[in-house]
Amino acid sequence: MVDSYCHNPVVRMVSFMRHWTEPILNPGMQQKQAYNQIRKHRSKIPAGDLAPTINLPLVGRIGLLFVLLLSLSVAHADFVVIGGNSVVERNRLRTDAELDLALDRTPAEALVAGIPLSLSVDIRLYRLKGPLWKKQIADWRYRHVLDYHRLSGRYSVENVASGQMKTFTTLIEALNSLSLIHISEKLPISIHDSDRLQVHLRARLDTNELPAPLRLIALFFRDWRQTSEWQQWEIAR
């Protein structure tokens, strides 16, 4: 059965934004818990300095919460390219890579709230011209969409290029399905047998594919800036 909730972007966004703004719009136990957590991380701030902010106007409360959230020191998951290699076979570039993918709490909560996440693997091909200079000659992007289906309680991973979709019981299983990358691409016709080639590869959470309001929020919160370092290796010829 198709989960109608998951295919309604308006419902998804309203639900998630309500989850994020409820402690601001409804002062009470949730807000007290938030301030207690802030005091735990920022012990130098006297309790009395925080209490008056509960009675600030809405705009003031939003601004204060925004600043405090930015200043909190929290554990941060990230994407890692563990390793990879590439070979040229019959004028095709074949690349294998292993990734370690873990979502931070905020993107994971957005996913469960019904907002699909786009995970991208970027590959760049360079021609080495010397010890200090190289030229990019090709690039590819491979995108998968991770989604959560509330009615079934299952996660799905869709290969955007092929349209192939797989479902999983847990988020860890869904992410693990993307940990091994096998890619084959035709080389540009400008490549010669004598060229020294180098591949650069990274994995990232593609925030450009988020709904517009959430895309703006993602610019300011580190939880959304999940991307690996570029890993590079020379191609065996």
Q: Are residues 11 and 97 in the same domain?
A: no
178-235 confidence digits (pLDDT tens) = 999 999 999 888 788 888 999 999 999 999 999 988 888 888 888 899 999 999 999 9
What residue numbers bound the domain in which 61 lies?
5-71
In 26-55, which ranges are continuous DSSP H helix?
29-41, 47-50
Q: pLDDT at residue 98 above 70?
A: yes
In the structure, what pLDDT confidence band is assigned to residue 58 with cuts at 50, 70 and 90? low
End position of a domain, from candidates 71, 102, 128? 71
How many other CB atoms are found less than 10 A from the CB of residue 227? 15
14-32 confidence digits (pLDDT tens) = 455 555 544 434 444 444 4
CB 203 within 8 A of CB 229: no
CA distances from 115 to 9, 144, 202 (A): 7, 14, 23
Q: Are residues 18 and 130 in the same domain?
A: no
Q: Are residues 86 and 66 in the same domain?
A: no
Q: Are residues 129 and 163 in the same domain?
A: yes
pTM of the predicted model over 0.85: no
Longest dimension (CA), the chain: 72
Q: Are residues 95 and 153 in the same domain?
A: yes
